[in-house]
Amino acid sequence: MFDLKKIKFIKTDADRQNLNGKNYSFVGLQKTAIEGYEAEFWLPLGFDDFETDENNPTSFDRVKNFFFKMYRTFQTYKVRKLNQLTEEEKTKDRDGVFEFENGFSFVNENNEQVVFYGKLNALDKILEGYDELRISSLEKKQVRSHEIDYSKIHRYMHQAIYLDDDVIYLDEMNIAKSVLIKESPPIIQLFCFIYTEIKKELEELDSVPNKAFELTDLFKDNYLQPDSSLFAEDTFADTINILKNVFEEIDSKTTYKDEDFWHFYDAIEAFLMGERLEDDKGVYFGINNFYDIWEDMCQTYMLKPENGYLPQVLFADVKGELVTRKDLGLQPELAVNPFKMEINRGFAPRFLKPDSVLSNKIYNYIDDLFQHKQLPNLKQGKVAYGVGLLNFQDLRNTQPYIIELFQKFVQVEDNYTTGGKFKFMFEDDLIQFQKIVKTWLHSEWLKSIKIIDYKYMRQSDYQIYNSNAIDEKEENKIKEDIHKQLIYEWAVQKNFENSETTSEFWIPYYSDNLDFETSRLDITNFTSNEFKQSQIKVVKINFKTLQENYVKLSNAL
């Protein structure tokens, strides 16, 4: 297992350019040629302010926590990606995903590059290795007995040695005899200690079986101090040395090593002795096209109901397909899809695919504004409903038209029971009121629209933007992004009358402020004047907030 103090963190533009030119798509752990370090951990873009100073007493825990959080992020992404593929796609080397010794690879939805995922073998073998059946097998063994059961001797005559005078010699009989081991073998105690320590760092202790906790406590009682911890800064080195010594002692003193023993032995060896399955690029674990994960993190946050954005979503790119409110189970539905392109009859339509399109209006449904309840018999003999407005003060400030319309249709009578006023509408008036409000809401709802695209880019990319510059691939990505975004806006304005559109690019950065809204940073003023002409905002979104939301998905996968 890597000593976190011997990992070189690559986080700034200068770090990346010094080591790998302009290539910044990789995020993960790989071997290094930097003297004094065992590996490089390439952090996501925007992590310039992430604290990794070894002299800072809080850095160790910060680095450790992020290390394990990234491991969970990769695992979440891997499972989500595999769940999105059909069984046929999973078997296709070119179009889907294929497993190999070091991880898996697949062609992304844009058919641009193969994304590589490498295994961090030291953790994977431990996490995948817990097996209570194997533990039970090691705790209770069947061994051969040297006793002779004369009632069954006829079954072993073919194994006998025949001597003179009709004497036979039988060496042993394969008679089962249960031997109960009073204390679990040290190999599984050691394994369970490492297993629970890793689970603790991954914040997954709820999934650890009680048996593992029992064996962990037994190991600590036998070999460690009460405060020993595998990933604590002050005890890490000492604990690792103790585990290595115990492991070597187990290896030398264990005479009978069956399949179950080797199962746990191999996992522990990979963790303690640094066995690493590497690809030809020296990657331990990571992904070479991180924008796939960044986009998935952003969209996951946007579409998770408890985060508050979902009611505003009009369209979203999900699994490579443009979905509508109806697809997301939301009302009201949209009669027109402005991103649908039909070129010729007889051919399937194609769709533009902005990452997310939102309505900036808060009130999407009439039920958000208004409540009504049918009343018993009124004097006029008509069907009537008691009515009331929700959030009256907010509506008066933001939607005065609704207040005026309500006052036009509502009728008021004195309530002699309570001494107050009684508000109601007759059924015909209520139906007309609702119809007018729904039509007005729909027009207002589509009057202010925001189009968001998630970009795995650096702030400096927008600061130095030049429409005439091209990269080593003879491309200008930002110029193409701007062009595409303006087409999205044009499509909306052409299809939704009187609509006003705005656009945002979301790029990553790191902050300890977990509140999504207050940690948003509009950095458009820091972009080049040429980029500002597009009137697209560049907004930095806190990676940490999205990551906390993202890794919670692993519990439901």
- Mean pLDDT, the chain, whole residue set: 81
List all residues 6 or more positions away from 55 whose beta carbon is below 8 Å from its beta carbon: none
Q: Is pLDDT above 70 for 148?
A: no
266-277: average pLDDT: 73
Q: In what order do the strands lie in the sheet with 97-100?
A: 7-10, 39-42, 27-31, 283-287, 114-118, 103-107, 97-100
| Per-residue confidence (pLDDT) for residue 144, from 0 to 100 | 42
DSSP 342-381: --STTS--EE---SEEEE--S--SGGGTEEEEE-S--TT-
The DSSP bridge partners found for residue 141 are: 179
pLDDT over 90 for what percent of the chain?
36
Rounded average pLDDT over 120-132: 81
pLDDT tens-digit map of 322-365: 999 999 988 778 888 999 988 777 678 889 999 999 987 655 55
Averaged pLDDT, 260-276: 81
Distance CA 185, CA 265 (A): 12
Q: What's the confidence (pLDDT) of residue 366?
A: 64
If pLDDT is split at 50, 70 and 90, which confidence band does 280 have? very low
Of 433 and 122, which is predicted with more confidence? 433
Q: Please report which confidence band the pLDDT of residue 1 belongs to, taking 50, 70 and 90 as the band edges.
A: low
Read off the pLDDT band of 191 (50, 70, 90).
Answer: very high
Q: Is 507 helix (H, G, I), strand (E, B) or coil?
A: strand
Nearest to 284 by CA among 519, 42, 14, 76: 42
What pLDDT, on a 0 to 100 scale, did the predictor assign at position 80? 86
CB 110 within 8 A of CB 319: no
**In the prediction, which pLDDT does 334 show?**
84
Q: What is the 3-state secondary structure (H, E, C) of 285-324?
A: EEECCCHHHHHHHHHHHHHCHHHCCHHHEEEEEECCEEEE
Q: What is the pLDDT of residues 359-382, one digit of tens each?
A: 876 555 566 677 888 887 665 678
Closest CA to 261 of 191, 187, 192, 211: 187
Assess contact for 454 and 506: CB atoms under 8 A. Answer: yes
Of 419 and 220, which is predicted with more confidence?
A: 220
pLDDT(91) > 70 = no
Give me the pLDDT at residue 284, please: 72
Output the pLDDT for position 437.
Answer: 84
The residue with greater pLDDT, 538 or 405, is: 538
Predicted model pTM: 0.79
pLDDT band at 227 (very low <50, low <70, confident <90, very high): confident
- Mean of the pLDDT values across residues 89-101? 45
Cα separations (Å) of 356 from 76, 208, 299, 322, 359?
22, 38, 8, 9, 10
Say how many C-beta atoms besides its own lie within 10 A of residue 524's C-beta. 16
pLDDT at 102: 45
pLDDT of 352: 94
Residue 329's region, left for phi above 0, alpha for psi from -120 to 50, else beta, is left
pLDDT > 90? residue 213: yes
Q: Kindly list the distances between the CA atom of residue 420 and the CA atoms of 271, 386, 414, 423, in Å, as whole numbers in the listed order.
A: 75, 14, 6, 10
Task: Give mean pLDDT, residues 405-414.
Answer: 88
Q: Give the helix ranges, DSSP H, for 410-453.
A: 427-445
Task: Give the model's confidence band at 246: pLDDT under 50 very low, under 70 low, under 90 confident, else very high.
Answer: very high
| pLDDT of the residue at 549 | 95
CA distance 173 to 175: 6
The set of residues, in sequence order, having a beta carbon less than 8 Å from that of 467 and lying 6+ positions away, is 476, 479, 530
- Reply yes or no on whether the pLDDT at 278 is more than 50: no
pLDDT for residue 449:
94
Phi, psi of 82 (to 5 degrees): -65, -35
Least confident stretch, 43-47, 109-113, 349-353, 462-466: 109-113
Which two three-digit tokens encode residue 83?
């769940």
Domain boundaries, the chain: 4-120+277-289, 127-141+185-272, 294-361+447-555, 366-445
- Mean pLDDT highest for which of 68-77, 130-139, 215-224, 520-529? 520-529
Does 106 have pLDDT greater than 90?
Answer: no
> CA–CA separation, 393 vs 381, rounded Å?
33
User: Residue type at 194?
Assistant: I
pLDDT of 452 above 50? yes
159-174 burial: b if 16+ Cβ within 10 Å, else e? eeeeeeeeeeeeeebe
386-396 pLDDT per residue, tens: 888 887 887 78
Q: Is the pLDDT of residue 74 over 80?
A: yes
Q: What is the pLDDT of residues 499-542, one digit of tens each?
A: 899 999 999 999 999 999 999 999 999 999 999 999 999 999 99
Alpha-carbon gap, residue 449 to 313, rounded angstroms: 10
Q: Is pLDDT above 60 for 110?
A: no
Q: Which residues contact 378 (CB under 8 A, 6 or more apart)?
A: 384, 424
Q: Which residue has the higher pLDDT, 171 or 113?
A: 171
Interval 2-15: pLDDT, tens: 566 778 888 888 88
Who has greater pLDDT, 409 or 554? Answer: 409
- Amino acid identity for residue 181 in this structure: I
Residue 523: CA count within 13 A, CB half-sphere: 22
Query: 539 and 61 in contact (C-beta within 8 Å)?
Result: no
Mean pLDDT across the stretch 210-238? 87
Is 70 exceeded by the pLDDT of residue 544? yes
What is residue 132's DSSP assignment? H
- Confidence tier at 96 by pLDDT (50, 70, 90): very low
Which whole number is the average pLDDT over 406-413?
A: 90
CA–centroid distance for 310 within its chain: 18
